[in-house]
Structure 1
Amino acid sequence: MSNSVTSASAASFADVVLALLVDKYEAPAETTSVDTDFESIGFDSLILVEVAVDLSRQYGVEVADDELQEAGTALGVAELLVAKGAAA
């Protein structure tokens, strides 16, 4: 897969992850972007467990909360989803 396709896929996933964080988990829309660190918006490990379950169900790939913590941002999670072969 070329880097431009990977980047486009990650950007698409990043927008979806960001929407999930804002719409379902009430991250502040005005200060949350794809590069915003989860800690800075107050997301603790319990919220990340819920996000991991949602993403696993939505994309059919196993996503662990510790992987989300390591990814740190919506863009990092998007790159993780692409690496796991999730389809946008």
Structure 2
Amino acid sequence: MFDTLRNILVDKLKVSPDLITAEATPEEIDLDSLAIVELSLVLQKELGIEISDDELTEAETVGDIVRLMDERSARV
């Protein structure tokens, strides 16, 4: 799931691939509030994973977002 998120961040949100690690914070990879909303929409549309922008905002690291994705995809 990390690779999936990484691809979305790079391809859709234009995040530099060098910045993306499991330990990176959203701020470190330049995910502002607008990008968080966009990420939420992309996850829903392309993967069928529903994670609200509020939940994404609360995630402290990229790894936390991956864990949310894993949890939600297991429910589908």
- Counterparts of 1:55 and 1:73, CA distance in 2: 17
Poorly superposed stretches of 4+, deviation over 3 Å: none
TM-score with structure 1 setting the length: 0.71
Q: 1:55 aligns with which of 43, 58, 71?
A: 43
User: Structure 1: any 5+ residue segments left out of the alignment?
Assistant: 1-12
- Structure with the larger RCO, 1 or 2 (CA within 8 Å, 6+ apart): 1
Structure with larger Rg = 1
- What runs of 5+ residues in structure 2 fail to find an aligned partner? none
- The 3-state SS of whatever aligns with 2:43 is helix
Partner in structure 2 of residue 17 of structure 1: 5
| Identity among equivalent pairs (%) | 32
Say how many residue pairs are matched. Answer: 74
Name the aligned partner's letter for residue 3 of structure 2.
Answer: D
Relative to the length of structure 2, the TM-score reads 0.80
